[in-house]
Amino acid sequence: METKLEHETKESSEQKYEQEFLQKIEGEANEAIKKIPEKNRQEIRQKADDALCSLSLDLSPAKSAVLRLKLLQYFQENNEIDIAMLRQAIFETPNFLKGPLKNLVENYKTKTIKQTREEIKKRINLNDKESYNPYLIEFETNSGRYYLARLLNQPHLEQEGKEMHHCIGAPTSASSYIYRMKAGDIDTFSFKEKEGDKPVITFEYNRIKRSLTQIKKVYEAKLLPSDPFFGEFIEVLKKMEETTDDDGKKRKITSVYREASEDIIVAPNHLCTERGEIPFSEYDPKKDALVLSGKIEMTKETTGEETEFISKIPSVATNLTNLRPEIKHGITEWAGNMTDSSSVFLYDNLVSVNGFVEAKTAKDFQAPQLEFVGESLNTGEAVEFNMPNLTSVGGLLNAFRARVFKAPLLQTVDGPISATSAEIFEAPVLKKAKYIGLSKTITEENISLSREMHKKIQR
């Protein structure tokens, strides 16, 4: 049996060991701080101390000291940490002191994503209208009047379509929506009024392209910057960018697709941004990170400097028909959508367009440097499609009048290819297209495609 003297000696020894351990950790922390550039030391020390305080964990002095050391090391390489996720990771990982915090958080994140994905997969496949089937609530707006709900399965889509009187709930549409939801291509959301759980806007987010692809009000009415809920809908979109999809990726909005942009009404030469409707001349990328829609008519008087400014505005529909040839010659990149109704589409230095390219009336289509089109590409009446540098089109590729179709570097087309007049079709490295529409009269020796892509031909 342990005597009082032996107990006191043991307790004293443990205290001495703990004190020595704390001094050792404090020394390591000081060494870690010395390695930080002097101008950043105070900031990183403050971040570590604030994070430790925010975690509000009941830890022994030794564990608390080690955690502070690890936070100091973490913030030397990272700007921020998810406190809620770190707290939960520590709760579920008893030996959290082993290894870097980054590994702890990443392992927990992977585990959480896997569990979420499995749960969502079960819910997506649910087709029983009688089962308990709540929406997945993402968050509320700051006012508490509205919230964002994720639609997970076919009963959700049908209920949304019934209440909103649009096509998302129709059997033919629902099957395609649910197919893309199951494939992980899209997330579908309902912006709802909290009182009565009334849906106000249904919208679609493309996870692959990080884009808004559809925005629908009741009866498919168009969104107006004057709508009383417009400000809170913008708030929802900005908050949504901080949420994650089933793969743990942030839902960043990098663009607004044509279908969604055309669902928003703005005055000519104006933009719809998070500030509301503004003249395009007031566009400021720092204040207007999110541009939902806009229409700009360019004229012969439009200068090169103005064109350069407009070229950087995303998600805007621009008509470049009347631009002077020397101005068109200077364009290399275009952030929005490009329409040109000239008989000759001549942009010999154009390399990329983030939106669509519409040249419906072109008899001659020339963009020899063009590599990337984010949405659809329509070359109109042009009888030649000769694109030596084109690698990717993000939607429909329409060259239905072209008798010669040559795209030696083209690899991906996210929609179909229409080349029904082609007598020669060459896309030897093409890896992806929804289908390829060709004429019944084109001969096999005039088709250059991989064996796999041959299966995509429709005549």
pLDDT tens per residue, range 98-117? 777 777 777 766 666 566 66
Token look-up 């020595």 returns 20
- Is there a single domain that holds both residue 109 and residue 210? no
- Is there a single domain that holds both residue 383 and residue 423? yes
- Is there a single domain that holds both residue 410 and residue 285? yes
> With 0-12 CB in 10 A as exposed, 13-18 as middle and 19+ as buried, what is 211?
buried
Q: Which of 116, 145, 178 is the last residue of a domain?
A: 116
- Is there a single domain that holds both residue 382 and residue 315? yes
Cα–Cα dist 33/53, whole Å: 19
Strand order in the sheet with 392-393: 333-334, 352-353, 372-373, 392-393, 412-413
- Is there a single domain that holds both residue 35 and residue 173? no
- Is there a single domain that holds both residue 272 and residue 234? no
The number of domains in the chain is 3
- Is there a single domain that holds both residue 373 and residue 232? no
Q: Which residues contact 80 (CB under 8 A, 6 or more apart)?
A: none
Q: Has residue 248 been placed in a domain?
A: yes
Token look-up 């990771």 returns 89
Cα–Cα dist 143/185, whole Å: 31
Q: Has residue 387 been placed in a domain?
A: yes
- Is there a single domain that holds both residue 306 and residue 342? yes
Amino acid at 404: V
Q: Which of 229, 256, 283 is the last residue of a domain?
A: 256
DSSP code of residue 112? H
> With 0-12 CB in 10 A as exposed, 13-18 as middle and 19+ as buried, what is 84?
exposed
- Is there a single domain that holds both residue 248 and residue 285? no
pTM over cut 0.85: no
- Is there a single domain that holds both residue 57 and residue 149? no
Q: 181: domain range?
A: 136-256
pLDDT of amino acid 327: 96
- Is there a single domain that holds both residue 30 and residue 56? yes
Model confidence over 388-424: pLDDT tens digits? 999 999 999 999 999 999 999 999 999 999 999 999 9
Q: Which of 116, 150, 180 is the last residue of a domain?
A: 116
Task: Tally the residues of the chain.
Answer: 459
Q: Which residues contact 346 (CB under 8 A, 6 or more apart)?
A: 325, 328, 364, 366, 367
Q: Has residue 160 been placed in a domain?
A: yes
Q: Has residue 58 been placed in a domain?
A: yes
Question: Which CATH number is 226's domain given?
Answer: 3.40.630
Q: Has residue 127 been placed in a domain?
A: no
Q: Has residue 8 been placed in a domain?
A: no
- Is there a single domain that holds both residue 203 and residue 277? no
pLDDT of amino acid 15: 67
Q: Which of 289, 286, 264 is nearest to 277 (CA)?
A: 264
> With 0-12 CB in 10 A as exposed, 13-18 as middle and 19+ as buried, what is 403?
middle
pLDDT tens per residue across all 459 residues of the chain: 555 544 455 455 556 666 776 777 787 878 878 888 888 888 888 988 888 888 888 888 888 888 888 888 888 888 888 787 788 777 777 676 677 777 777 776 666 656 666 666 666 666 666 565 777 888 889 999 999 999 988 889 989 999 999 888 776 665 588 888 888 899 999 999 988 889 999 999 999 888 998 999 999 888 888 899 999 999 999 999 988 888 888 899 988 888 888 888 889 999 998 888 999 999 998 888 889 999 898 999 999 999 999 999 998 899 999 999 999 999 999 999 999 999 999 999 999 999 999 999 999 999 999 999 999 999 999 999 999 999 999 999 999 999 999 999 999 999 999 999 999 999 999 999 999 999 999 999 999 999 999 999 998
Cα–Cα dist 122/117, whole Å: 9
Q: Has residue 9 been placed in a domain?
A: no
